[in-house]
Structures are given as C-alpha cells and as structure tokens.
Amino acid sequence: MSPLTGAGRRGLTRSARFWREFRARPSGPAGAAILLAAVLVALLTPLLTDPAGLDVTRATGPRMGPPSLEHPLGTDESGRSVLLMITWGSRVSLLIGFMSALLSMVIGTTVGIAAGHFRGWPAAVLMRITDWFLVLPSLVLALVLAAILGGGMFTIILAIGVTSWASTARLIRAQTLAVEARPYIERARALGGGHWHVMTRHVLPNVAPLVLANTTLQVAGAIVAESTLAFLGAQSGQVSWGGMLRASYDWGAATSGAWWYVLAPGLCIVAVVMAFTLVGRALEAVLNPRLRGAGR
C-alpha cells in the first residue's frame, strides 16, 4: 500500500467520522440545508431573473402593492417586486457576509498563529492589540469607520472585517499554543524547520477546522452587522436585505401597513443568520476537542 492511498484512506475515515458527528445534532444539517438553499438562490438569480426589474424607471407594479400572483411578496415604494429584490439582495448580503468574515478570518488567523508561535514582546504586543479590539464596542467602531470612509460595499466589508477579528485571534492563539506543545513540533524544529515552516505546515493545518467553524459564525454576525449599519445610515449602495429594511423604514412601510415589505427582508436575515449560527455551532462542537464533552 502506497503512503498516498494510506493518507487518502485516513482522510476518508476522518471525514466519515466528521459527517457522523455533524449529523448527530439535527440542528447542524438543518442549518446547512437553509444555507444551501440561500446560496443556490444567490447563484441562480442572475440566470433566472432579469435585473431590469430592479431599475426604478422600468418598474411596472403598483407602489407598495400587496402580495399578488404577479408579485408574490408584494411591491416596494417604486413598484418593484419585493421577491425579486430579496433574491438579488441575497447576493449582496451574502457577499458582504462572506467577504467580511473572510477578512476577519485572515486577520484573526494570522494574528492568532503569530501570537501563539512567537514568544516574548511580539506576542505581547499582538495580544495587547487583540484585547483592545476585543473589548471595543465593535459596532460603534464600525459605524465610525463607515462614516469616515464614506459609503460603499467595500467600506462596509472593511468596517465589519476590521472590527470583528479579535475573538478569532484569541481562539486560534489558544489552539496554536496547544498544537505547539505537541512533541512532533519539537521534532520538526530539531530537524531544522524554521518559523514559517512550523506555522504553515504544522500549526495552520491543525487549526484550520476551527477557523472554518469560527468563520461560519462570523458570517452570521457580519450579515446582521450589515443590516444594522444600513439602518444606521451606512449603506452599500446596492439592493441588500439590510438596505431593503432601511428603505421600508424610510418610505413608511410599517405605518402604511405594507407588512410584506417590512417582514420579508427581516425574516430572510433571521433565517440565514440562524442557519449560519447552527452550522457554526455544530462544526465547532465536532471540531473543537475542548467542546466535545460539552456537546452532549
């Protein structure tokens, strides 16, 4: 048996075990199913629908019309279909969620591994900064950033990403410390492995699953954050769920009784955020050895 197939087989049994444990909590797969649906909608929307429906100059429906056969979720203040806006908005909301979680993951993992790997003052300085970001009211910081940098999708992603990486860094650092205490790292060092080698070849693969679980939770946070920033005035400038909620507020949907316009985007946010949270928690429970006991 060649070493390669051996590794492959090990990988197979590991993923099989992972799947078994993931499935053990029904909430995980349920969340994953919602997520899959949301991502599918986001990906298929451009293929199935015409973005011209988002152009206010071409909207055909009545203003704030109630749900009907033609517009299953009613229309907005310009006569655009709320359903169409939800499907196109899912792309922006998910994109902002993923991108800012990615940004936060990259910063958090880098800082976390570095702070766990190096000792002495570099680690101290990194942890000082991490702690600082951890306690700061991140929404307040994100709002200030967005206000200063001006509107736009990039700004929103930056504002959310930069303010939310600290907890990831903490988690990854703790994990890095645990990994580096293992004997084989000692061996790798003795064999002449440099800092870079140890960090990328040994530490990173070991913390990667945890990073994944944590990122999933971050996406949930980022989507809620996007909607809150939109409500408080920092908008991406494109149709997103948060932007729709803000628009429904601006155009008085609630007092005009246009419940479809107020509820639809909000419920979408709740469903998707909930799904990310469930999947993230399930992943964490399976992957984080420290939590395995607690998952009972």
**Which window, 86-94, 184-192, 195-203, 235-243, contacts other proteins (CB under 8 A)?**
235-243
C-alpha span between 251 and 236 (Å, rounded): 18
**Binds other proteins by CB under 8 A, chosen from 111, 113, 281, 287:** 281
87 or 216: CB nearest other proteins: 216
87 or 227: CB nearest other proteins: 227
Size of the residue set binding other proteins (CB under 8 A):
88
2 or 57: CB nearest other proteins: 57
**Which window, 37-45, 185-193, 195-203, 266-274, contacts other proteins (CB under 8 A)?**
266-274
H-helix segments, 118-258: 121-135, 138-149, 153-163, 166-180, 183-190, 195-197, 204-231, 241-250
Residue 270 binds other proteins, judged by CB under 8 A: yes
C-beta atoms surrounding 123 within 10 Å: 16
**Binds other proteins by CB under 8 A, chosen from 81, 90, 93, 227:** 227
Closest CA to 104 of 216, 234, 237: 216
User: 90 and 268 in contact (C-beta within 8 Å)?
Assistant: yes
**Which window, 10-18, 34-42, 85-93, 250-258, contacts other proteins (CB under 8 A)?**
250-258
**Which window, 16-24, 39-47, 195-203, 238-246, contacts other proteins (CB under 8 A)?**
238-246
C-alpha dihedral (212, 107, 220, 91), degrees to nearest 10: -100
Closest distance of CB 257 from other proteins, Å = 8
Closest distance of CB 74 from other proteins, Å = 15
Rounded to an integer, what is the distance from CA 145 to the centroid of its chain? 19
**Binds other proteins by CB under 8 A, chosen from 6, 51, 205, 233:** 233
C-alpha span between 177 and 166 (Å, rounded): 17
Residue 109 binds other proteins, judged by CB under 8 A: no
202 or 281: CB nearest other proteins: 281
**Residue spans of beta strands (DSSP E) within 36-123:** none
Closest distance of CB 56 from other proteins, Å = 5
Interacting positions 39-98 with other proteins (CB under 8 A): 55-58, 63, 77-78
For residue 36, the one-letter residue type is L
Interacting positions 183-222 with other proteins (CB under 8 A): 214, 217-218, 220-222
Closest distance of CB 200 from other proteins, Å = 22
Interacting positions 114-173 with other proteins (CB under 8 A): 127-128, 131-132, 134-145, 147-152, 160, 163-164, 166-167, 170-171, 173
Rounded alpha-carbon distances, angstroms, from residue 290 to 15, 161, 275, 284: 19, 26, 23, 10
User: 223 and 280 in contact (C-beta within 8 Å)?
Assistant: no
C-alpha span between 44 and 266 (Å, rounded): 21
**Which window, 2-10, 88-96, 193-201, 288-296, contacts other proteins (CB under 8 A)?**
288-296
User: 70 and 82 in contact (C-beta within 8 Å)?
Assistant: no
Closest CA to 59 of 80, 76, 74: 80
C-alpha span between 273 and 294 (Å, rounded): 23
Residue 250 binds other proteins, judged by CB under 8 A: yes
| Residue 145 CA neighbour count, 13 Å, CB half | 20
